[in-house]
Amino acid sequence: MAAFGTVFTPEMIISRFNNNSWSTPEIVATDSISLHPGAHVLHYSSTCFEGLKAFRHADGGIYTFRMEKNVARLAQSSQLLALPGFDKAMLSKMILDIVSRYAADVPQPPGSMYIRPTHIGTEASIGKAAAPSLESMLYVLLSPVGDYFAGGAKPLRLLLEDNARCAPHMGMVKSGGNYASALQPIMKARASVQADQVLFCPNGDVQETGAANFLLIDGNEIITKALDSSFLHGITRDSILTLARDRGMTVSERELTVDELLERAAKPGTEAALSGTAAVLTPVGTLIHGGKEYQVGSGVAGATTNALRQALNDIQWGKAEDKHGWLTKVC
Ligand code: PLP
Ligand code: COI
* pLDDT tens digits, 143-154: 999 877 766 668
Domain, as residue range, for 27: 11-145
Same-domain pairing of 162 and 140:
no
Which of 81, 111, 145 represents a domain boundary (last residue)?
Answer: 145
Same-domain pairing of 182 and 132:
no
Mutate to test the pocket of ligand 1, among 277, 308, 316 (most ligand atoms within 8 A of CB): 277
pLDDT score at 149: 72
pLDDT score at 151: 62
Mutate to test the pocket of ligand 2, among 277, 281, 282, 312 (most ligand atoms within 8 A of CB): 277
Establish if 88 belongs to a structural domain: yes
Same-domain pairing of 140 and 160:
no
Taking the C-alpha atoms of residue 165 and residue 167, their distance in angstroms, rounded to an integer, is 7
CA-to-CA dists, residue 259 to 97, 127, 200, 255, angstroms:
48, 46, 14, 12
CATH of residue 203: 3.20.10.10
Same-domain pairing of 246 and 208:
yes
Contact (CB, 8 A) for 211 and 114: no
Task: Write out pLDDT tens, residues 45-92.
Answer: 999 999 999 999 999 999 999 999 999 999 999 999 999 999 999 999
Taking the C-alpha atoms of residue 94 and residue 106, their distance in angstroms, rounded to an integer, is 17
285 lines ligand 1 (CB under 6 A): no
pLDDT score at 152: 62
The pLDDT > 90 percentage for the chain reads: 97
CATH of residue 24: 3.30.470.10
Establish if 330 belongs to a structural domain: no
Taking the C-alpha atoms of residue 260 and residue 120, their distance in angstroms, rounded to an integer, is 40
Q: Where are the alpha helices (DSSP H) in 45-139?
A: 67-80, 88-101
Fill in the amino acid letter for 15: S
pLDDT score at 134: 98
Same-domain pairing of 92 and 183:
no
Question: Which helix (H) or strand (E) is 307 found in, with range?
Answer: helix 303-316
Q: Where are the alpha helices (DSSP H) in 10-136?
A: 40-44, 67-80, 88-101
Which of 102, 117, 145 represents a domain boundary (last residue)?
Answer: 145
CB within 8 Å of 21: residues ≥ 6 apart:
none
Taking the C-alpha atoms of residue 4 and residue 278, their distance in angstroms, rounded to an integer, is 9
pTM, entire model? 0.97
Same-domain pairing of 162 and 281:
yes
* Nearest ligand for residue 165 CA: 1
Same-domain pairing of 56 and 163:
no
Establish if 150 belongs to a structural domain: no
| Residue 269 Rama label (left phi>0; alpha psi -120 to 50; beta) | left
Same-domain pairing of 187 and 217:
yes
- Report, as an integer, the average pLDDT of 156-172: 97
Looking at the 3D structure of the chain, how many domains does it have?
2
DSSP 3-state of 322: coil
Contact (CB, 8 A) for 221 and 269: no
Same-domain pairing of 174 and 299:
yes
The pLDDT > 70 percentage for the chain reads: 99
CA-to-CA dists, residue 206 to 19, 32, 193, 262, angstroms:
44, 42, 19, 11
Establish if 3 belongs to a structural domain: no
